[in-house]
Structure 1
Amino acid sequence: MRDIPPSMDAAVVAAIDERLAGVEAAHGVRIAWAIESGSRAWGFPSPDSDYDCRFVYVRPREQYLSLWPARDVIETPLDAVFDVNGWDLAKAMRLIAKGNATAVEWLRAPIVYRGDLAFRDRLLAFAHDVVERGAVGRHYLHVARRQKAGPPSLKRFFYVLRPAAALRWLHDHPAEALPPMHLPTLLAESTASAEVRDAVHELIALKSVTRELGDAAPPAVLQRFVDDELARAEAFELVAPAHDRAAVRARADAAFRAEIGA
């Protein structure tokens, strides 16, 4: 599977493809899923946004049986344009089992450099089985709080707005625990007002042509939206685990063994 929008720089995409092939050759792994994360995948890039490629890789089965397992992260050199790194399958599955929303977002990314769709669907099914709404809600609530605590700027406000939109999506989908990562999609699939959606689209359009948004106050309608969603999401702090931890670990072990052919 590959899904690259035409707005992305073809030369940069080709360089990312080369990095991914280099990772496979240098480390003897198979990259099963590689996506774009960060502001491009979130739906609000700036003209100078870097490229944040994230991937999940699988080692040969015998390497998972070693007494000295390899590091579970592979990183490539970081610079002003490229931020390319990934997680071992085992790490990704452990994080999903814990309800890590970032790991789940990678599986729902709208921009895909390369990937085995069946692999993605199996991990998504696993996530649907084990991820708890309470853990995901707390993740987005805590992310928004951390960003609000930093120096105020319109750019930072986007990092508060997206988790607030994810919290609204969770409220509007009470039987679901895996929100999309793309901000416009979160709003389109929620009951956010037309006024909120219009204000978000205007702010995204401004960010798309502006390198520095400055420290102006965000539109009042969006500030109210954020405040209301974070206040309502306080309830996630009191949500108790619904799944038995041992059962989740057993489910994770079984899914992992199936993936590596053990």
Structure 2
Amino acid sequence: MTQADKTIPPTVRREIETRLDRIEADNGVRLLLAIESGSRAWGFPSPDSDYDVRFLYVRPRDWYLSLAPGRDVIETPIEDEIDLNGWDVRKALTLLLKSNAVVSEWIESPIRYRPGDPFVDRLRSLADDLLNPRAIAYHYARSGKLAADRWLDDGDAVPVKKYFYALRPALAIRAIRLNPASRLPMNLQALVAASDLSSALVEQINALVEAKARTNERANGARLPEIDALIRGELDLASELPARKLRDRFVDRADQLFLELTNT
């Protein structure tokens, strides 16, 4: 168990593991990956943050042969602050071929609720080879601009949560600009380390993390001009990243991986 794993209270972890077992039994699926996403895995939780559990699963082979395809997601209601949802592996592979950043993030989550299936290492290798820096940067630019909509340029107080939902995408763009050959970490602190920031900016970000750890999700925080400038600047630089047209080169490899998985 990693240090990040230990941030999940044992009673909550047991409840999450119980619910994952129930999902497998009730839906006839096998979980390949079960991780924490959201602010707890991103490195800036609040005391009242939900537990955002995400998973990948595979069904028996015959399910995929139906003329009427079934749903490719499993969703459950939020109960006791546990938000638990997952994707079918075929959906995950299809999205990965489109340079989907979410699949890549899940693979790298620092908090895991199940030991990784051997399939995950092969999925990670495919994600490495499919890395398209511009597509990844555009993903984070969209999410960052959506999070910063209406508040970034008005100077008013903003919930600390909203600050982070724009800051993390901005740091992701900066990190991949500096090293376009490597997929991004999920965790904010790892992104900071990869972003070559001034010591003053690092101190401000660390102070923001500490402030969020003491307050609820909606509490307002003071505006920080240097962080505002970082967010504003990086979110406009996605188009500077190199683009790679990779999908057609890897469809056969993804197909083979899917067929092997569903034949086991």
The match for 1:250 among 227, 235, 252 is: 252
Given residue 260 of structure 1, which amino acid in structure 2 is its aligned partner?
Answer: T
- Asked if 1:201 corresponds to 2:203, the answer is no
Is residue 2:178 matched to residue 1:175? no
| 1:44 and 2:44 aligned | yes
**Residues 181, 217 of structure 1: CA spacing in aligned structure 2 closer, same or farther, 3 A cutoff?**
same
Q: What letter matches 2:240 in structure 1?
A: A
**Which secondary structure does the structure 1 equivalent of 2:99 belong to?**
coil
Alpha-carbon contact 1:96-1:131 (below 8 Å) kept: no
| Cα pair 1:164 1:230 within 8 Å, conserved | yes
The one-character-per-residue Cα deviations of 1:11-42 (angstroms, maximum 9, x if unpaired) are 11111101100011011111010000000000
- Which structure 1 residue ranges, 4+ long, deviate > 4 Å from structure 2? 1-4
Report Cα offsets for 1:53-87 as digits up to 9, x if no partner. 00000111222222233211111222351100100
Q: Which residue of structure 2 aligns with residue 74 of structure 1?
A: 74
1:155 corresponds in structure 2 to 161
Separation of aligned partners in 1, 2:4 and 2:220 = 32
Q: Is the 1:74–1:87 contact (alpha carbons within 8 Å) kept by the matching residues of 2?
A: yes
Q: What's the CA shift for 1:252? A: 1.9
Instruction: Report the alpha carbon displacement of residue 150 of structure 1 after superposing the two structures with TM.
Output: 4.7
The offset of 1:232, in angstroms, is: 2.7
How many residues are aligned here? 258
Which residue identity is paired with 1:242? K
Q: Aligned AA for 1:147? A: A
Change (3 A) 1:206 1:143: same
The alpha-carbon deviation at position 121 of structure 1 amounts to 1.1
Q: Identify if the C-alpha distance between structure 1 residues 200 and 4 changes in structure 2 by more than 3 Å, giving closer, same or farther.
A: closer
* Shift, 1:115, TM fit: 3.0
TM-score relative to the length of structure 1: 0.91
SS in 2 for 1:68: coil
The residue identity in structure 2 corresponding to 1:194 is S
Q: Which amino acid aligns with 2:67?
A: L
Distance 1:193 1:209, change over 3 A: same
> Does residue 1:228 correspond to 2:230, yes or no?
no
Corresponding residue SS for 1:114: coil
2:13 aligns with: 13
Sort the Cα spacing of 1:89 and 1:212 in 2 relative to 1 into closer, same or farther, 3 A: closer
Q: Equivalents in 2 of 1:56, 1:255: separation in Å?
A: 14
Q: Aligned partner of 2:192: which letter?
A: L
Q: Which amino acid aligns with 1:153?
A: P
Give 1:137 shift. 0.7
Residue 240 of structure 1: how far off its partner (Å): 4.8
Q: Secondary structure in 2 aligned to 1:257?
A: helix
- Residue pair 1:196, 1:225 contacting (<8 A) in 2 also: no
RMSD: 2.0
